[in-house]
Amino acid sequence: MRQLQVDVAVIGGGPAGLAAALAARSAGAEKVLILERNTELGGILQQCIHHGFGLHRFKEELTGPEYAQRFMDQVKATDIEVLLETMVLEVTADRKIYAVNTKMGMVEIQAKSIVLAMGCRERTRGALRIPGRRPAGVYSAGTAQRYVNIDGYVPGKRAVILGSGDIGLIMARRFTLEGAKVEAVVEVMPYAAGLTRNVVQCLEDFDIPLHLESTVIAIHGDKRIEAVTIAKVDSSWNPIAGTEQKIACDTLLLSVGLVPENELSSQAGVAIDPVTNGPIVNHWMMTNIPGIFACGNVLHVHDLVDNVSREAEHAGMYAGRFALGTMEEAPRRIKVQAGENIRYVVPHEVSTTEPVEFFLRVQRPEDNVALDVGGLRKIRKQSVRPSEMLDVKLTPEQLQSLEGDTLVMQIVSQKEA
């Protein structure tokens, strides 16, 4: 079995992995290795051929492949090593990685530090337990996106989309542009799950009806899906009798949420936050296993790739420092707690010596409120939405002024602010 030794091993060559590898190299780590299972770098961005990426980072509207290419070009200009079509099978707590590819066979990699950047997967019909038969023609939205944008095939010509996540909204437009008819987008919540700009640009501009507080209660068809029954739901998501409506279709796309892929992490003993489904990390983006870091959608599901890149740069920088042995133990640690109308905050713990950027989501939409950052900062928000991630930065000076060892993030009314 081939054996390799590296300073920093990055698992996953999507936007998080690319940014983390670059940052680790910039921090001084000499041997940085990216392990990518696909035939090329870039991750899921390669199938996101629509524009809208990079507004924050590059002040430009790029397509997914263009955004990825900027980082890929930077990686290419360095001596960062890349192993493509290489699947990581196991990560151990003492930072050994077992990976396999067709050329090298099994490879055992001993890393001084590891960055987990494996991304996420889509929730499935099975996880939702949508009743009915199991015909062909039911896809997660991202699988359909791959078929259309990478492989060059359109699954069907009459689609219903369950869930209004961003990929579903993007695919509603993509199907329409391909000459297919999107009959309906069906969302169980009283508001869309995706970004407002996607609702406008992908549904409203194409007159695609959005059914809120509704769900698919049955799938019909034997070999191929022939129709779905949708119904209105009550506040506990139970279908309301009498509101059923059968819609003929040959395709059902599911855009019902993303789940960070932490099977490798769990195997290594990384502790997982049941709310984010991602690792619990400190201000270094380090997990409970020393030397194992996490960033991007494997840590928590983002809606903007710009944020992924920034978060990954933090993780990569600290992973580089850890490998070099130049990381300093924090003199004081502060627990971060999700308070009123906050679903989660990442990172979960911070120090008082490093600047930190928090990413957080609210539980429910509210207007004219303020985000109270542990009493250290209060930021007015015209509106907060679960679909739109918030981010807030604190300086070491601000953190040092905190009393106690817990920082509570909460949404307060503007009067209190």
Partner 1 sequence: MGRRYKETIPVQVAIVGGGIVGTAVVRELSRYKLDLLLIEAEPEVGWGSTKANSGIVHGGFHEEPGTLKAKYCLPGNQMYPELCRDLDVCFEQNGILMVARTAEEMDTVRTYFRRGTERGVNLRLLSRDEVLAQEPNLDPGIAGALFAPEGGSVMPFELAAALMENAVQNGARYLVNAKVQNAWSEAGKKFLETEEHRIQADYVINAAGLFADDLARMFGDDYFTIHPRKGEEYIFDLSVKDVVKSTIFPVPGPISKGILVIPTAAGNLMMGPTGDNILEKEDLATSQYGFERVFAGAKSLVPSLDPRKIIAQFAGVRAASNRGDFIVELSPNVPGLLHLAGIESPGLTAAPAIAADVPRLLGEAGLELDLKEDFDPRRRPVIRFNLLSREEQDALVKEDPSYGRIICRCETITEGEIVDAVQRGARTLDGIKFRTRAGAGRCQGGFCQPLITEIISRELNIPVTKVTKRGPGSEQVRYKVKELYESEVQA
Residues that bind partner 1 (CB under 8 A): 1-2, 37, 85, 87, 89, 98, 100-106, 108, 121-122, 124-127, 129, 131-136, 139-140, 142-143, 146-148, 150-157, 177-180, 218, 222-224, 250, 263, 266
Instruction: Name the minimum Å distance from CB 147 to partner 1.
Output: 5
d(CA 137, CA 175): 14
Instruction: Name the minimum Å distance from CB 330 to partner 1.
Output: 32
CA distance to 55, 107, 177, 208, 250, per residue, from 202 (Å): 18, 44, 10, 8, 21
Looking at beta carbons only, is 101 or 245 nearer to partner 1?
Answer: 101
Unique residue bearing structure tokens 């409506």: 245
Instruction: Using DSSP bridges, classify how beta strands 251-254 and 158-162 pair: parallel, antiparallel or unpaired.
Output: parallel
Closest CA to 8 of 273, 395, 318: 318
Looking at beta carbons only, is 114 or 148 nearer to partner 1?
Answer: 148
Instruction: Name the minimum Å distance from CB 225 to partner 1.
Output: 10
Residues with Cβ within 8 Å of residue 309, at least 6 apart in sequence: 15, 16, 19, 57, 71
Instruction: Name the minimum Å distance from CB 197 to partner 1.
Output: 25
In terms of Cβ atoms closer than 10 Å to its own Cβ (0-12, 13-18, 19+), residue 357 is middle
d(CA 100, CA 105): 5
Looking at beta carbons only, is 250 or 273 nearer to partner 1?
Answer: 250
Instruction: Name the minimum Å distance from CB 83 to partner 1.
Output: 12
Looking at beta carbons only, is 144 or 360 nearer to partner 1?
Answer: 144
Looking at beta carbons only, is 142 or 374 nearer to partner 1?
Answer: 142
Instruction: Name the minimum Å distance from CB 98 to partner 1.
Output: 6
Looking at beta carbons only, is 28 or 131 nearer to partner 1?
Answer: 131
Residues in the chain: 417
Closest CA to 371 of 354, 353, 359, 355: 359
Instruction: Name the minimum Å distance from CB 153 to partner 1.
Output: 4
- The answer to whether 297 and 260 are in contact (CB under 8 A) is yes
d(CA 398, CA 221): 60
Instruction: Name the minimum Å distance from CB 136 to partner 1.
Output: 4
Looking at beta carbons only, is 47 or 307 nearer to partner 1?
Answer: 47
Instruction: Using DSSP bridges, classify how beta strands 342-346 and 356-362 pair: parallel, antiparallel or unpaired.
Output: antiparallel
Q: 3-state DSSP call for residue 256?
A: coil
Looking at beta carbons only, is 2 or 380 nearer to partner 1?
Answer: 2
